[in-house]
Amino acid sequence: MEKDFINDDEIWDILEDNKEPERAEIEEIMAKSKEKERLEPEETAKLLQLKDPDMWEEIFSLARELKEEVYGNRIVFFAPLYIGNKCINNCLYCGFRRDNEAIERKTLSEEELREEVKVLVNNGQKRLILVYGTHPEYNADFICDTIRTVYSTKVKNGEIRRANINACPMKVEDYKKLHDVGIGTFQIFQETYHHETYNKIHPAGDTKSDYQWRLYGLDRAMEAGIDDLGLGVLFGLYDWRFEVMGLLYHTIHFEKKFGGVGPHTISFPRLEPALNTPFIAKSKYRVSDEQFKRLVATIRLSVPYTGMILTAREDPEIRREVIPLGVSQIDAGTKIGIGAYKKAKNGYIPEKEQFQIGDTRSLDEVVKETCAMGCIPSFCTAGYRVGRTGDNFMSLAKPGFVHKYCMPNAIMTFKEYLEDYASPETKTLGEKAINEQLEEFEEEKRNMIEDNLEKIKNGARDLYV
């Protein structure tokens, strides 16, 4: 088999060679991150080996600073929408694996999908990530049909303005179909970058057992014109330090191959319980909360420009601790059972879920808390629609200019939410947060935003720069 860009032995050698970093070395690495330069593997390895708790507090502080310099103090909101849980793979850690007879198999019909979208829109959502099992039914044409259904479903002032996709790797010609129908980010999690572990947990003969087909799946998406890509690892399958290194190597691969264009987002979910899935409880690589905080901050320093996604797999307490460490996107009001937004009670329908989420709070509750944390909730999708993707996005993100465009749009989309969906308490907190944020703008831009806020108050929607 031809070698790929993940060399397991090389990664472990680098980790071993950098396991006792000096304070001066860490300070030099932090100084490089402050300049928003992507780190090299040896530098990230030093961060991952650092044991000094006082220095970790400095790293946490820098991660927060970097995120705000690039993205501002906004947090982008989205919701996952699971379309179908049929699957031909037998991944040991997945509740949807084909041999799991405890799972009720279901694919949303077009009408059922519309009903799910209506619930989401009525909650205030504007951005979705559509999730599909690996099954012949869920081919590119099917995915395109579901995207059209999502975009065409409107309720009063509400609509879904951008659908991102989490699906199995495809051929270039299939990606082109998705590109033409107007998807946002295409996301593929490698699950684990460690070859031996990947082979153990993905049984031979399955579609997903082909490590390299999955590893280069986003390359093919880029070749098809989808230049907004998301990486991810399922932490807990193998050593967390190795996996962070794998994400960095994947980022470097993208930048080398595609003229400096790296991933738009990096996700870092942890293993969570799933119905009738004993592998999860037996994993010896479970990531502690402290390790989780460190890996999030390390990713932020290693790839300063990337968006970072923290999901509702985590419970509210750890989300409060981790969001300030570099996170730019979160989901909220999340339900992951097939048809769960319309039917679920108390947040769970285990027989239709891939895993168990930790944060079952409503969108409004999380929006309110986000305001209380000093952040601006954002439902913005303008970047996709005006072409701020790929090289265009990187030219803004790497020098730290994204927030100059995105913060005004964040405020305007948040104002829409406050007018149309917020509870009275959230609306009060939200208006206060907007007014405080407006003070940060120079007069000309502040006047423009205030004019648009008044238009939104009077009924205008979907205003952006």
Rg of the chain on CA atoms, in Å? 21
Integer Cα distance of 379 and 364 in angstroms: 13
Residues near 238 by beta carbon (within 8 Å), at least 6 away in sequence: 192, 193, 194, 197, 285
Is 446 found in the same domain as 306? no
Q: In this structure, is residue 343 part of a structural domain?
A: yes
Integer Cα distance of 238 and 48 in angstroms: 15
With CA atoms as reference, report the closest residue to 242 among 416, 69, 16, 399: 16
Is 309 found in the same domain as 215? yes
Mean pLDDT of 291-312: 97
Is 359 found in the same domain as 210? yes
With CA atoms as reference, report the closest residue to 189 among 272, 250, 253, 106: 250
| pLDDT interval class at 346 (50, 70, 90) | low
- Position 177 scores a pLDDT of 98
Is 179 found in the same domain as 76? yes
Show the domain range for 100.
67-397
Is 339 found in the same domain as 283? yes
- Position 399 scores a pLDDT of 76
Is 390 found in the same domain as 407? no
Higher-confidence residue: 400 or 111? 111
- Position 1 scores a pLDDT of 56
- Position 402 scores a pLDDT of 67
Cα–chain center distance at 462? 23
- Position 251 scores a pLDDT of 98
Question: How large a percentage of the chain has pLDDT more than 90?
Answer: 90
User: Which regions of 88-179 does DSSP assign to beta strands (E)?
Assistant: 127-132, 154-155, 158-159, 162-166
With CA atoms as reference, report the closest residue to 172 among 130, 222, 238, 113: 222
Q: pTM, whole model, 2 decimals?
A: 0.96
Is 197 found in the same domain as 340? yes
Q: Read off the CATH number of the domain in which 391 is found.
A: 3.20.20.70
Count of helices and strands (H, E) across the chain: 21, 11
pLDDT tens-digit series, residues 375-424: 999 999 877 777 767 777 777 677 766 677 789 999 999 999 999 999 99
Is 354 found in the same domain as 446? no
Integer Cα distance of 67 and 406 in angstroms: 13
User: Is residue 183 within 8 Å of 165, Cβ to Cβ?
Assistant: yes
How crowded is residue 210: how many other Cβ atoms within 10 Å of its Cβ? 16
User: Is residue 448 within 8 Å of 454, Cβ to Cβ?
Assistant: no
DSSP 390-438: HHHHHHHHTTT-HHHHHHHHHHHHHHHHHHHT--HHHHHHHHHHHHHHH
Residues near 397 by beta carbon (within 8 Å), at least 6 away in sequence: 70, 305, 306
Q: In this structure, is residue 35 part of a structural domain?
A: no
Write the DSSP symbol of residue 191: B
Mean pLDDT of 224-240: 97
Is 435 found in the same domain as 378? no
Is 433 found in the same domain as 307? no
pLDDT tens-digit series, residues 5-23: 999 999 999 999 999 999 9
How crowded is residue 290: how many other Cβ atoms within 10 Å of its Cβ? 11
DSSP reduced 3-state for 447 = helix
Is 341 found in the same domain as 299? yes
Q: Is the pLDDT of residue 345 over 60?
A: no
DSSP 330-363: EE-S---STTHHHH-BTTB-GGG-SS--S----H
- Position 288 scores a pLDDT of 97
